Each structure stands twice: as C-alpha cells, then as structure tokens.
A and B are shown apart, each in its own frame.
Chain A
Amino acid sequence: MKKNYDIVIIGGGPAGLAAAVAAYDNGVKDILILEREERLGGILNQCIHNGFGLTRFKESLSGPEYAARFIDEVQKRQIEVCTQTTVLALSKEKQVTVINSAQGVFTVQAKSVVLAMGCRERSRGALNVAGSRPAGIYSAGTAQKYVNIKGYLPGKRVVILGSGDIGLIMARRMTLEGAKVLAVCEIMPYSSGLKRNIAQCLDDFGIPLYLSHTITKIEGEKRVTGVVVSKVDENKRPIAGTEMHFDCDTVLFSVGLIPENELTKMAGIELSPKTRGAVVYQNRETDTDGVFACGNVLQVHDLVDFVSEEAEIAGKAAAQYVLNGAKVREEISVNTGNNISYVLPQKIDRNAGGQVKLFFRVTNTFKNCTITATSGGEVIAKRKKRIAVPGEMETLLLTEKTLAGINDEIVVSLEVDE
C-alpha cells in the first residue's frame, strides 16, 4: 500500500467494485479498494441463492457469481485491493486511517474517496421486543452466515419476524437444511418481499405468513423456548386477546437494514435523516467535494443491479473530480411530497448537464395512483402505477431538457387516482 492514491474506495462489496471499475474506465488508474473481510464481494458472499443480476445480465446468478463478475473486472484492470484491512477513520481532508495485521495503523491520503461500506441489519434490540434475552435470537443475516458460510444450523424450530426478501429466503434455507419454520410474521398488512419469493420460499413449503402480526414476547431463560405473537391494529399496536403461542427454539429477525455511516459522520458529511445515508447530488457526490457514496451505505437497495448502476455513477464522477477538480454548481433541491418517504439525489446540480433518475420509496401500499415530480407548480415528470409498495424502489426520469427549464425546488409526490 502506498501513502497517496487518486481514489480510495472504502468497501469491496458490489458497490465498491463497480465504482472502482467505472473510475478506472473513466481515466483514473491509481485506485485502492479497502475491504475488511478476507474476500471481496460484501454481503453477496453469503447469498448463495439465485436471482441476482436479472436486470443487468438478463440471467439469474447466485450472489457469489454476481460478485465474481465484478471481481474479475477489477482483477483484469489490476486495481490494487487490500483485504483484511479496516478503515477506522475518515477526515474531511480525505485522509483515510486504516488498520491491518501486516502494517498496523496508518493513514492514506486520497484525492477522492468513494464510500461503499454497505449496511447492517436492525437487531431485535432496535424493536424493543419484550421478554427475555436468551440464546437463539439472531438477525436473519447472522443466521444466513452460520448456515451458508459456516455450515451450522442455528436452530430447529424457528419463528421469523419480517417478511422482506432476506426473511423469506432464510425461511426456505432453514427448511431445506432441516429446520421447521413455524411462522413468518409481518407487522405490516403486506409483505415487502418480492411476490416470487413468497411463492417459492413460503407457499412451496407450506410455511404460514401472518400479516399484521408481530412478536410481543420472547420466552426462555438460557435458550428461547417460545414466542407470543399478536395481531396488530392499523397503528401497529398489538390487540389484546389475539395472542398466539409458538413453541420454538429460535427467532430470526429480518426487520430492516441501516446504512453503515460511522465514517461518513466522522468526516462531518451531512446525512439525511430519511435515508440515514449521505445527502448527495446526482453524481453521488456528498457535501464534501471529492467524497462520493453509493450502494447500501447511501440508500438501502433491494436489488444489487441498482447498486451496481449507482456505483458506476459515483465511480465515474470520482474520476472526473480527480481529472478536472471541483465544479461550480447551480443547485436545485429535491424534496418529498405526499406519500413519499425519501427521494434521492436530494440535490441536483444544473450545471452538470444530462438526465437525472430520481430514486424513491412510497410510504404505504397504494393502488391505482400517480407519481409526479413538480417544480414551481408544474408537473415535470409523471408516472401512473397500478400498485406501488414501500418494498420496491421507484424511479422517475428527468430529462436534460426538462431540467434546463426549471428553477425551483422539485417535489416528488404520490396521489391516489379518483
């Protein structure tokens, strides 16, 4: 490892890998990828099921296969990679402090930094589920690691809370490995997972899905011995008298992902309370010149294909920053209106030119609705949807021509059609 690099990429998951390749292909060769694990690939390494890459490669790959395609590209370009190296600190001046066994603690100076640290899972603790705190309580991702990487079964009679894709996939995996999954509970009236996952992971195995239900108590002193599951009302409050008891030895929590932004915060970069990731321009540049963010550290993605797309934007922009320096911006802010939980990018630089794709999520399930982007009272982009759900990221395209004509804040909102 040298002391200076043009671009330092923090995190060697799909986001970091795609950003490195894009930066290289846009003219900057002096790149370093830092990864704490032994291998590149990030969380994909433990996702051994198929279904990755349908959009990008038009075929269904496993997580490691998808990652391998990008690792190959990185290797072909001989981009420098340092694994088993953890970034401890990041400064606004783009000094990256790292630690590893071979070199100890030392600092690297970058001209540009790409943040690609991914996310972590929300734990049981974050939900304040009442009861005891015995062995047998895992986040779905931890269970996935035990099963897929280590070859161990964390439990035999399982209740899963959360019906997002990770929860659904773990219901199938645990069943295939010999465990009995008694129930998947979901506090919302709908599952945020893909339809095909509900069919292939639950229905095919006869695993019941309890919508509008949550775990209200965990029992067991040393090991989980059971859980109480209750139905919830429209405010997500448990309804007395609806309690069901399950005798289980294991509870898996699959209750959301949180971007891992300690380093971002350390560098004093502005974070959005809505995404819990950095506030960025359309080129994924943060409020600190030359620092970019992409992938799950910026916004939690459902599909890795989108991660790669976003990372390429950031990687290319990092290269342009190194080659051309900072630009004078003309800024328009992008905000959420009715029924939209967040929108990204939060800021558009009009001087940058080109089109901008807005990414956002809706707050609830809506049928027959219209999503619009407005500016100065005028609709500048619009899309009708038969159904919109929070679990699926939505997009709206603003063309170069559209952007050229606006001066005011852009607001994205959703209205249900009459």
Chain B
Amino acid sequence: MFDVIVIGGGVVGGLILRELTKYHLNVCLLEKASDVSMGASKANSGIVHAGFDATPNSNKAKFNVLGNEMMEKVTGELGVKFRRNGSLVVAFSAEEIETLKELKARGEQNGVSGLEIISQERLREMEKNISDEALGALYAPTGGIVCPYELTIAAIGNAMDNGAKLETEFEVVKIVKNEECFVLSSSKGKTIEGKIVINAAGLQSGKIAALAGDSGIEIKGRKGEYILLDRESGDFVSHTLFFTPTKLGKGILVTQTEDGNILLGPTAEELENAGTDTSAQGLAFVIEKARKMCKNPPLFNTITSFAGVRAYSSKGDFIIEESKTVKGLIHCAGIESPGLTAAPAIAKFVVETLVGGSLRLIKNENFNGARTPDYFFKNLSTEEKNAIIARDPSYGKIVCRCEQITEGEILRAIRANPPARDIDGVKRRTRSGMGRCQGGFCQPYIAELIAKERGVSLEQVTKCGDGSELIMGVTK
C-alpha cells in the first residue's frame, strides 16, 4: 500500500510527487496518458507570472507570488531553463493607462516587487518592434519564462530517482474508500491502494472528486490556441508582452520562450468537451492581435500551431484543500493560469500542510534534488562535451539537425526517468523534432532508436501512445 497516491502527471502532480519524496513516504503517481505532461502542462504560455493579475487574498494571488519566488531554486536544482525576462502590459489608450495604474496597485497589494509604469519612449527602447500605437506599459521585472513540460518531466524524473513510482496508462475510473485506505481502479482493470489520494487531474479533477464521492467540484475547459515561430526570429521581442485586460478579455501575449522561439497566443474559447484542435478562426485571431501588438510579426517563420485547455473551477479560484466530504482526499483543482507559476508553492503547501495534517512527515536524508548534467549536453563547454563523447561516442552524432540534438541525448531520454516511449516523448525531453523542420529529417531515425531500445519493431513505434503508430506496413 502507498502512503500517498497522486492522480495526474501534470506540473502540479509532478511537483507534489517530488515534494513527497523529501520525506519517508511510499508514493506513486498515476497518469492516464502514455506519458507525463500531456495535459495543460504541455501546451501553455510558459510564463512565470509576476502576480499583479490575481484578485488580492485569493489562492491564485498567494500561490502565484510564492511560486514565482521559488522558481529559481526549483529550476536550478532540476536543471530546467528559467529566465526572468520581465513582463510588459502594454496600453493602447489613455483609458488603458488608467487600468495599468490599477494593476500596479493590485500587484503591490499582492506583494509583487519592482512594478513600474513606463513611458512610450522607454517601451520603444525596450522593445524595438512594439507597435507605434502603444502608449506605455506596466513593467514587471520579476516576470519570467520557463519550459513547462521540461519542468514537469524533470520533477517527475527526479521524484522517481528518489524512489517514487510512476504508472502511466493508468486512467482512474473507480475510487472506493474502505476503513484503512482508498482503492483506485484503472480502465484496464488494475488496482492500487493508498492512504491519501491527491487529486491533481487537471481538467478531470471534478470527475475524480465525483468518483470518490465528492460532488462539490465543477471544472470547465477553456481552450487557448497558439502559433510558434522559429528561433531564427527569436530576438523579435525580448520581454513578455501582454495587452491590457479590458471588459472584452485579455487579448493574447507575444513572448520569447525559454528555448528562444517566439510564441503568439493564446485565444480563450469556452468548450464543452476538451479537444486540442486548432481552428482557422482561432489562428486568425492570434495573427490579428499579434499584428496589433507589434510591427510586422515574422509570421513567415511559423513552425507550428497548437492548443491547450485551461481547467477552471466555477469558483473562479484554485481549489487547494482536503475534501470537505471525503477525508484523505486532497484537491488541487481548477488550476488554470497562473498554475504553472504557482505549482512549486502549491506542492509545498499540499505536502507540508495538507498531507502533513494527517501523516507524520519524517525527512528523507537521502533525498537528492539535483539531476545529472548529461541531460543538457548542448549547454556544456567543448571540453565537457569531448569528455562525454570520449566515454560515449553516441554523443558525437547529431540526430536532430535543427536543434542540434545528439543520439546520446535521445538514448538517454529513452532510458532515464521517466522513460520516453514514443516520438513525442523524445521530443518533449530533448527538443528533437521541435525545430524548424518539425522532425522531417530526424523522425525516421528516432523511430529506429526507440524500436531498438525498447525491443519492438518499427511498426510498433508510436507518435503518442497506442493507436498512433507511425508506419502502416512495409513496401512491396
């Protein structure tokens, strides 16, 4: 039996899992997909929000500001790229300038430091491609960018290195609570037992609550579509540019990503059943807004478009609490934006306060929060690279030419915790296939590496789990 079972391999569940391994606890993560980080934590803006947006005293405000402060430490330990590039909320009218003042006051109330309203002149100095119609901005120097799936995968990998167990393709469909524990059953008929269950199932967190007999959580989805531009245009903007929120909504943002691409989006579309399709209207909206924010966005350098779904609660705030009706069930529900930013703080609170409220927490002296540096081959010095290549020649062979990813890194992604099992899994761990050719050159080669490592035929290699096989047969 496990002490704690976490449902949902997103950034929230992942960081909670890692936090749990800091103590002597027997823990397990259940994820319905074939890999972790397949929900909202895979497709979002990757912004580490400063915290001026959330209503004062809400969970959103509290965990946002705390999470922002914790980001250096957690990404540093996990070797995840993170940078405080600073955010700018841009105003296009006198009325919007007034709104900026309100945002600044609200941010200060939330405890955000360094907020400043800047002039048109300074804005133009900071962002050479800003629209001529932009009049000024709220500058938040603590705003940052992080790669969300890299953080999620690293957190779960590190937790596994410290003894946590991961079950993928375990979709929880039944939860029974008996005298001592919860019994969770999967759609494939597996069962697993645990004393405490943490519900971090994102869009499905309402459903998980209901399965356990708690009908108090209502979660809806709101889709956001994006367009991603090649790193070749990476210096088009350097800060994260937001529109000033108006009654009509928030518009989109234009930002650099931590990997040096430019990201445009997201839209905000209510949806009944969660799909991550993109639509012609959605993408057209993104383009229209990007053109309003900046002069001549380099759309010719588009390399892909995608969508993610925000899970928001009818309460309008994060729900982070033990269930009022089912003891031992802890909810992390309705974690929409700024959930990525808040996740480290949510994890700490959930483990120290909520789990700690019912289980005795004894420090695990063997916990090692760091990941080994081989993961980040590209960033090493020539001497370090050569030392690794001398030991393992596969690091001397570039497989993904656009992102300069070596065979060694791909093999490592297939072997290390949590292991990549398919093309998309390798891609999220190494960036291979994420560049301008989108895997055109390297996909056949990576498929062969996966087949060889996992001892399967090429025909069994998938893009993203069962049913997504790449190949449909052999040639005549």
Contact = CB atoms under 8 A, between A and B. Distances in A.
A177 B473 CA distance: 10
Interface stretch (A124-132, A297-305, A336-344): A124-132
Contacts of A350: none
Interface stretch (B186-194, B245-253, B362-370, B436-444): B436-444
Contact of A121 (B390, B393, B437, B443): B437
Interface stretch (A50-58, A139-147, A312-320): A139-147
Contacts of B469: 135, 223
B353 interface: no
A147 B402 CA distance: 23
Given A104-B385, A135-B463, A178 B476 contact: yes
Interface string B259-301: 0000000000000000111111011000000000000000000
Given A102-B396, A152-B458, A152-B459, A177 B475 contact: yes
Interface stretch (B60-68, B207-215, B302-310): B302-310
Contacts of A91: none
Contacts of A149: 444
Contacts of A84: 397
B463 A145 contact: no
A36 interface: yes
Nearest to B298: A273
Nearest to A150: B444
Nearest to A147: B475
A249 interface: yes
A345 interface: no
A151 interface: yes
Contacts of A216: 280
A154 B476 CA distance: 13
Contacts of A99: 385, 389, 396, 398, 406
Interface in A78-131: 84, 86, 88, 99-106, 120-121, 123-128, 130-131
A145 B306 contact: no
A2 B467 CA distance: 50
B426 to A, nearest CB: 14
B476 A177 contact: yes
Contact of B401 (A36, A141, A152, A154): A36
Contact of B443 (A134, A142, A265): A142
A238 interface: yes
Chain B contact-residue range equals: 35 or more
- How would you classify the secondary structure of chain A's contact residues: helix, strand, loop or mixed? mixed
Contacts, number: 152
A395 B417 CA distance: 57
B386 interface: yes
Interface in B431-476: 436-441, 443-444, 448, 458-459, 462-476
Given A101-B396, A105-B385, A222-B468, A123 B438 contact: yes
Given A125-B302, A153-B471, A177-B475, A135 B278 contact: no
A382 interface: no
A255 to B, nearest CB: 12
Contacts of A132: 275-277
A147 B458 CA distance: 13
Contacts of B279: 130
Contacts of A138: 440
A154 B398 contact: no
Contacts of A391: none
Interface in A188-238: 216-217, 221-223, 238
A125 B474 contact: no
Nearest to B278: A130
B356 to A, nearest CB: 40
Contacts of B464: 134-135, 222
A265 B278 CA distance: 32
Given A130-B278, A147-B475, A223-B469, A142 B440 contact: yes
Contacts of A223: 467-469
A176 interface: yes
B372 interface: no
A135 B440 contact: no
B275 A125 contact: no
Contacts of A262: 232, 402
B29 interface: no
A154 B305 contact: no
A133 interface: yes
28 contacts: A36-B398, A86-B398, A86-B401, A101-B394, A102-B393, A102-B396, A104-B390, A106-B382, A123-B438, A125-B228, A126-B304, A127-B302, A130-B280, A130-B305, A133-B306, A135-B464, A139-B437, A141-B440, A142-B444, A146-B471, A149-B444, A150-B458, A152-B473, A154-B470, A156-B472, A156-B473, A223-B467, A249-B472
Given A104-B396, A134-B468, A258-B436, 20 more contacts: A86-B404, A99-B385, A99-B398, A101-B395, A104-B386, A104-B390, A105-B396, A120-B436, A120-B437, A120-B441, A123-B303, A123-B439, A125-B303, A142-B440, A146-B444, A152-B473, A156-B472, A177-B475, A178-B476, A250-B472
Interface of A: 36, 84, 86, 88, 99-106, 120-121, 123-128, 130-135, 138-139, 141-142, 145-147, 149-156, 176-178, 216-217, 221-223, 238, 249-250, 258, 260, 262, 265
Interface of B: 227-228, 232, 275-280, 282-283, 302-306, 382, 385-386, 389-390, 393-398, 401-402, 404, 406, 436-441, 443-444, 448, 458-459, 462-476
Q: Which 3 A-B pairs have the closest CB atoms?
A: A125-B304, A101-B396, A222-B467
